[in-house]
A = this chain, B = another copy of it.
């Protein structure tokens, strides 16, 4: 706690090209969303080996999130049938640090371009990290959720 923390400033490592052009309140069928992640050319080599993974984790900066909308609680996905939840208990983009995290299928890597399926980020979103998806480390086989959560399984 007594350590000096340097400023936590992110640098973009790439950008999302997506058919989703605007934020939508609705839940998307992510299986139908095919996007490209264009990584900065000077970082191309840092992708070497990623093609060995079927899935990757994408961290991105939700640049269209509105600070004015940032409250500590809200109805998940605007569903007024569900009691208000804390923002850390839902996946709203309106959070103290607007970082999105998606697990997506990696369809193809071509040099600095990743073709992916299921990316929940709009066109132009700055990408801040790519990580390989590692079953067991990134998944929890016995995970449980409240009843209001719609699960994709």
Contacts and interface: CB of A to CB of B under 8 A. Distances in A.
Interface of A: 1, 3, 5-13, 15, 39, 43, 45-50, 52-55, 57, 59, 61, 63, 72-73, 83-91, 95-97, 99, 101, 103, 105, 124, 126, 128-146, 149, 151-153
A145 B53 CA distance: 5
B49 A143 contact: no
B46 A86 contact: yes
Contacts of A1: 15, 124
Nearest to A148: B52
Q: How many copies of the polypeptide does the oligomer hold? A: 2
A102 to B, nearest CB: 8
26 contacts: A3-B63, A5-B12, A8-B10, A10-B97, A10-B99, A43-B96, A46-B72, A46-B73, A46-B88, A47-B89, A48-B73, A48-B85, A49-B86, A50-B88, A53-B145, A54-B144, A88-B132, A91-B131, A91-B134, A96-B129, A101-B138, A103-B138, A134-B149, A137-B151, A139-B140, A141-B153
B139 A89 contact: no
A135 B54 CA distance: 17
Given A50-B89, A99-B129, A101-B57, A63 B6 contact: yes
